[in-house]
């Protein structure tokens, strides 16, 4: 079986790693360069860096910071934030990113997914989807969760796959930062609809949330921030626990 991936996420605002609850009330967690190095050493399978200030403030991702983070890593590194064109993606890949994450720009212009995928390959393209449940459906949100994209979640995920996305990163805004567990049922439905890997994000609070996710949803990876940043669930401890649950993971000697 393919090993399940554990992915720490660095949400970066103005050069510092931050974390909030339901995308609000951000607090500083640390330096993204040092934290990236630490997670790589601890045995993280990948790292995601999202410049959450880029879209709202109309700026590109800080390439110098990407270079500094990438220079400390020996694991795949995904970068998102402020990517509006294929040339933006090229600059990030040239700066050390292994994959790029598209979100708001892809919602504004879905053909961007195709352009980047055709230019570099689907394996380089992660489409990140932030969504919240409203009435009877999951609504896709853009601009850091501040604006409704007027798109239904499952429909948009399927379109992203059809346009060349290599992976889908789904963050449940209702679960984000709550530490009450992942949106397992929604993720299980998403995995049943897609033929590409799914990364789950939003809600991790303890090791059992990860085992519940992997045993009941079909996702390929779990992304989290608070539990790793705060040391609540150290990555080596988490992986040993998951292995004891019969979940295949890559164990790194630290």
Residues annotated catalytic, as ranges: 11, 130
Cα–Cα distance for residue pair 225/231, rounded to 1 Å: 10
Contact between 67 and 80 under an 8 Å Cβ cutoff? The reply is: no
- Apex 7 CA angle, 215 and 199, nearest 5: 55
Bridge partners, 5 (sequence order): 221
Give Cα separations from 150 to 73, 131, 205 (angstroms).
Answer: 37, 11, 30
- Close Cβ partners of 78 (under 8 Å, ≥ 6 residues apart): 46, 47, 48, 49, 97, 98, 99, 100, 101, 126
Residue carrying the six token digits 């990860």: 210
């Amino acid at each position: 079986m393919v090993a399940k991936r554990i992915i720490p996420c660095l949400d970066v605002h103005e050069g510092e790693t931050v974390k909030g609850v339901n995308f609000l009330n951000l607090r500083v967690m640390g330096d993204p360069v040092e934290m990236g190095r630490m997670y790589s050493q601890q045995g993280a399978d990948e790292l995601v860096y999202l410049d959450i200030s880029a879209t709202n403030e109309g700026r590109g991702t800080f390439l110098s910071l990407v270079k500094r983070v990438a220079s400390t890593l020996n694991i795949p590194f995904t970068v998102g934030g402020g990517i509006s064109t294929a040339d933006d993606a090229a600059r990030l890949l040239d700066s050390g990113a292994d994959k790029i994450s598209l979100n708001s720009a892809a919602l504004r212009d879905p053909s961007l997914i195709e352009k980047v995928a055709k230019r570099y390959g689907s394996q380089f393209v992660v489409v990140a989807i932030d969504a919240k449940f409203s009435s009877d459906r999951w609504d896709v949100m853009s601009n850091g969760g501040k604006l409704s994209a007027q798109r239904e979640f499952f429909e948009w995920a399927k379109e992203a796959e059809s346009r060349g996305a290599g992976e889908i990163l789904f963050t449940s805004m209702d679960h984000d930062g709550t530490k009450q567990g992942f949106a397992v049922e929604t993720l299980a439905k998403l995995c049943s609809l897609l033929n590409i890997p799914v990364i789950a994000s939003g809600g991790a609070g303890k090791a059992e949330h990860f085992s519940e996710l992997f045993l009941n949803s079909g996702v390929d990876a779990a992304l989290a921030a608070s539990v790793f940043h705060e040391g609540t669930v150290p990555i080596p401890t988490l992986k040993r626990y998951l292995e004891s649950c019969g979940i295949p993971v890559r164990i790194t000697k630290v």
